[in-house]
Amino acid sequence: MRRDMLGCKDEQKINRFLQEALTGFLGLADGGEPYVVPLNFVWWNGCVYVHGAEEGRKIDIIQRNPRVCFTVSEHIGTMVHPVPAKTSTAYMSVMLFGKAEIVSDLDEATDALRQLLGKYVPGYFHRPLSQQHVASYRSSMGSAAVVIKIIPDLITAKEKPLEEDRRFYKGRTVRDDIGRIF
């Protein structure tokens, strides 16, 4: 990390961020070409879980090269300053480097999918997702669903907290801030 002062080492904060963030980006190496896919995900038991079709480019790449990077980033706000170069962004981001694997254990796959449903549609279903549904599901294109587990061996996090008095809002102009000391 180039700017160590922005590094976040607070494991509770990192875990909470990963539990609450909605979209992650799975980075794969397809030979000499990068391939990045935005995905819904769940952070559970120290791993990232995603799901998708059992066939396709993502699965093909993972089978050839299971090394991945999974990135989650959230924009918290833009901070203004009368000096343009001091205008900045408040954010939090986490990068996980590790190995992706297809979850073959039906219990683990079902539990991971239950976690995903609990995250994205909490309380919607009156019964937990059944193993039979997971085992027999086929998409409209005939593909089974798979669960992919990303096991991190390195996690880095960066954050720049929001300075509330500098938060940009629609209608705020530099004239509002000239003479103010930040």
Residue 59's SS3 state is helix
Residues in Cβ contact with 158 at an 8 Å cutoff, skipping those fewer than 6 apart: 1, 3, 6, 7, 8, 91, 92, 93, 94
Checking if the pLDDT of 44 tops 80, the result is yes
**Choices 3.40.50.300, 1.10.3720.10, 3.90.1150.10, 2.30.110.10: CATH for 4-164+171-177:** 2.30.110.10
d(C-alpha 163, C-alpha 78), whole Å: 9
Least confident of 54-63, 99-108, 173-182: 173-182
Residue 50 has a pLDDT of 97
Q: Is the pTM of this model over 0.85?
A: yes
| Mean pLDDT value across residues 39-68 | 96
Rounded to an integer, what distance in angstroms lies between the CA atom of residue 52 and that of residue 2? Answer: 34
Token code pair at residue 120? 């994205």
Tell me: pLDDT of 2 over 90. Answer: no
Give the pLDDT confidence of 73-108 residue by residue, as tens digits: 999 999 999 989 999 999 999 999 999 999 999 999
Tens-digit pLDDT profile for residues 142-157: 788 899 999 999 999 9
E strand residue ranges, the chain: 24-30, 33-39, 42-44, 47-53, 67-79, 88-102, 145-160
